[in-house]
Chain A
């Protein structure tokens, strides 16, 4: 490896690191606009043309704010936590193949890498929750760890089928394999849905945002943070959402493949709807409860993601013939199973039937 290669790699990494905050700024703007439209209002509007500079102004405000450390904080944990949360996201961006050329590192095990590394950020959240010395932060941190760790299982199972189909753990190979055959989202529709759901829970987004829910734990682990440190949590969240949408595109929607248009356009065309869908959910869904969230994961998502591996294996071994009925059956089975189990997850504990009361007559008043 010559010096030039090293320099080029360093340059590429630098670009990615700088692109991450920019990406977050754009996503925050898009999210606020989307939410605004859903809620019959304008969204950011005043700063810059169409409010485009609003998030930049917010960023400047955050950067110039005083960084406070609460009296009861554990200084080390409290200081390091934002970095531990933020860095894995940037590292993951390095292996995302936007187009065949536009990828910093062609890692052979990139599929494993993109799921293994974000698990580190969970440690950052528990550090933040513990280190802030606040009970709400601790509560939120515990919630987040429990949910992130549980949801990693269906998340990994949902892409297991794809790994079987492509016969590779490299994201680039997975995209190329889809160019030869078919988008894996078609063969694995259930896995795609599970992937998005589990991904949302992993990064505690609506409707799985109980770890940071402002009406319950008021921001969870990030409650005591201010200024740049809080901004890092924010950046990490949006970078992670972008990664989620990117992986959804790459693993299930054929990445850069598509007719006529250049690869990166197709890539954007596929990523944007997923992102908008995630923002849309935020405008239209309330939050689940913690026990419902866990029940949903263990009783619904994990069995279904296992079922999905069977579908993938069928396709791999027998080809298209038996796969089409199999896919349809899996979707129906998933829906049926979801209805049945979901009812049990949210079942109301039994209580004595209430006698139907008679209205109080006016004379008794």
Chain B
């Protein structure tokens, strides 16, 4: 309790300072928002991160390229495969390694499955933050069946260490196509259920429609990327604009919103899942036989030079920057994490909102603190 409230005649009036987090169920990990509130209205917000800092980038400097995905998985633990893909794209650029066709297809399928799993988590978390426990379980069901496939393929459910330099660590099991084909209708059905549960729910619409609308200009100024930016109406999807891997071969829509409010951000994720399903279907069709891993140099010293990859992670634009200096380990690994930028946008976004809305806005940007803190 500190400064006096400006604009009131009562000189004794004070803000109430509230620490939202690091132990608060709605901060999606261990973020701390220092809120100054006037009753229910948030006057200012200072996001404080670092509670989950494990020095991922520093540790990555002590790892060889083979070991690298182990630690980058831990950055964004909800979409580990997408991060791995970004890391390996950068590393392959540096090593000048070609990736065989089959591996490209496996990568795309796995990354898109992980995108769905991540968005299902978002769906559940947003629902929970709106005071509604069922979406969490609904999202979880869908996420679990994806994780079952991941377990078959990579041996792990969340932190896979699967995508490797020049391809993937091991070939997919023989029944891979069947098991993915089996879960696709399940996921489509699950998605419909999710829509039915929350999208047109009168109270949910009342809570989220028109909440915190953003123009594309505002969103760009705040550094938002990914679905949150597309919700404002700007069709900026790196899979379409700067296709990496083999994303230019697939037919898919980039859903865009109209107002950029919380409901639009929510819809973007749900529509994106549908597109991901389409991509997976096409990739399964086109997946050739052959090598799952290309020729990689016998001595894996980092070449001297630098490489940067930009990928569309479920959260936004994920940039990986690797500098090699001829050693076994990288000279520098830098992760441009969308969640980090999104947390910093909180300061502006939460100003003047209600506490209850602040929780929803925080959830609507789909922040994973593991990635923000690294």
Chain A residues proximal to chain B, CB less than 8 Å: 35, 38-41, 135-136, 139, 142-143, 206-207, 209-210, 213-218, 282-292, 342, 345-346, 348-349, 351, 354-357, 359-360, 362, 365
Contact = CB atoms under 8 A, between A and B. Distances in A.
A354 B259 contact: yes
Nearest to B260: A354
B235 A360 contact: yes
Given A290-B40, A359-B234, A365-B242, A35 B213 contact: no
Given A283-B134, A290-B40, A215 B359 contact: yes
Contacts, number: 121
A354 B215 contact: yes
Nearest to B217: A357
Given A284-B197, A285-B203, A289-B206, 8 more contacts: A210-B131, A213-B356, A285-B132, A286-B130, A348-B209, A351-B213, A354-B258, A357-B234
Contact of B355 (A35, A38, A216): A216
A213 to B, nearest CB: 5
Given A35-B133, A215-B25, A215-B26, A286 B203 contact: yes
A287 B132 contact: yes
A288 B207 contact: yes
A287 B25 contact: no
Contacts of B143: none
23 contacts: A39-B133, A39-B134, A39-B137, A40-B137, A40-B141, A136-B18, A139-B18, A215-B359, A216-B356, A283-B134, A285-B203, A286-B127, A286-B207, A289-B356, A292-B206, A346-B209, A348-B210, A354-B259, A355-B215, A359-B235, A360-B241, A362-B242, A365-B242
Contacts of A287: 130-132, 203, 207, 356
Given A209-B131, A287-B131, A346 B206 contact: yes
B233 A354 contact: yes
Contacts of A139: 18, 40, 355
B259 A216 contact: no
A215 B128 contact: yes
Contacts of A209: 131
Contacts of A292: 206-207
A214 B25 contact: yes
A354 B213 contact: yes
B16 interface: yes
B357 A289 contact: yes
A339 B240 CA distance: 42
B17 to A, nearest CB: 8
Contacts of A354: 213, 215-216, 232-233, 258-260
Given A285-B132, A286-B132, A354-B215, A360 B203 contact: no
A218 B236 contact: no
A357 B258 CA distance: 9
B242 A207 contact: no
Contacts of B241: 360, 362, 365
Contacts of A342: 206
B36 to A, nearest CB: 12
